[in-house]
Amino acid sequence: MLRAFFLFLSRATWAKNLIMRWGFSRRAAARFIAGEQLDDAIRVVAELNRQGLFATLDHLGEHVTTPDEARRAADDYLVILDRICASGIQSNASLKLTQLGLGLDDALCLDNLRRILRKASECGVFVRVDMEDATTVDRTLEIYRVLRSEGLKNTGLVIQAYLFRSQADVRTLMAAPTRIRLCKGAYREPAHIAFPRKSDVDLNFDTLAAMMMDAALAHGSPPASADGKIPALPAIASHDEKRINFARRYAEQIGLPKTALEFQMLYGIRTDFQLALAQAGHTVRVYVPYGTHWYPYYMRRLAERPANVWFFLSNYLRS
């Protein structure tokens, strides 16, 4: 019930206008957001690198309403890529296609992503295309396939374990192979297309992780590059220790080296666990969001974990 409530709020304009006016909500969100400006995010990534962690930068934003907004979002990513290259930080980039015009003008979205990937390839930066709600999955996969067919291979996708279709998608994508980030899923989906019970999502997550690792081993998955910019296959994105420990055990069981497996976590959540995994010799990449459009992202974080809701309420009480 609580999860559904916050997912509803993440798309409610009236709630966004109200909550973003509260000073305490901005302070609470700062735990999970690297700042509102690119300079803030660059500093955060540099500190993560100093601790032995890699990063992926995400300029927050989604569901633009005009072609000009979509083009500006793409232009912003060109600036981000320039800064990643110039600063020497060890970071990829992540983005959402609705931020680039998906659903508004799919041809424009394709062109925007093409521009970004071409720029990223100039300095060897990998760009991850985030998966959004289930209505966008097929179009996201199609845009990915078109750009791969054009030779732009410095990109990968996200697969969400709560969708029934994900096993078939992973099977198809790993035949290429594709660089996949596996996550549980953070959107509100109807019961006829997604597992409603957490236990079923967890089981599917482990099944998908094993499929990805088997495929990585079969393809002779290369290790991550020395600077960490090109991620290994696969990427396991979770803070759930049971899911992570399953992946570690399974990789050891099949003989997949640590350099061919990457764990990804969110900025501001379980930093202690992130550091412990890195110290154990695993590649750990932190998803670092920044920007002024933090509201939907933050609401989805509240929906995921009761502890995050208490953090929000404690800030409210202090205010």
Instruction: Give residue 313's pLDDT band: very low, low, confident or very high (50, 70, 90).
Output: very low
> Is the pLDDT reported for residue 165 higher than 90?
yes
Q: What is the pLDDT of residue 31?
A: 75
Distance CA 203, CA 188 (A): 19
pLDDT digits (tens, 9 = 90+) for 245-258: 999 999 999 999 99
Distance CA 304, CA 187 (A): 10
Asked if 131 and 157 touch (Cβ cutoff 8 Å), the reply is yes
| Separation in Å, CA 108 to CA 72, 77, 136, 230 | 12, 15, 15, 27
Output the pTM of the full model: 0.84
Least confident interval from 41-45, 61-65, 246-250, 290-294: 290-294
Contacts of 8 (CB under 8 A, 6+ apart): 188
Q: How many beta carbons lie within 10 A of that of residue 110, not counting itself?
A: 20
Q: What is the pLDDT of residue 186?
A: 82
CATH top-level class of 34-293: alpha beta
Distance CA 191, CA 169 (A): 19
Active site residue 179: no
Residue 318's H or E segment, with its range, is: helix 306-318
Between 79 and 27, the more confident residue is 79
Distance CA 252, CA 248 (A): 6
Distance CA 250, CA 208 (A): 12
128, 169, 179, 181: which one is catalytic? 181
Active site residue 181: yes
- Would you list the domain boundaries of the chain? 34-293
Q: Is the peptide bond before 296 cis (omega within 30 degrees of 0)?
A: no
Least confident interval from 17-31, 77-91, 245-259: 17-31
58, 128, 130, 285: which one is catalytic? 130
Distance CA 16, CA 215 (A): 42
Instruction: Give residue 316's pLDDT band: very low, low, confident or very high (50, 70, 90).
Output: very low
Asked if 3 and 304 touch (Cβ cutoff 8 Å), the reply is yes
Percent of the chain scored above 90 by pLDDT?
69
Q: What is the mean pLDDT of the chain?
A: 86
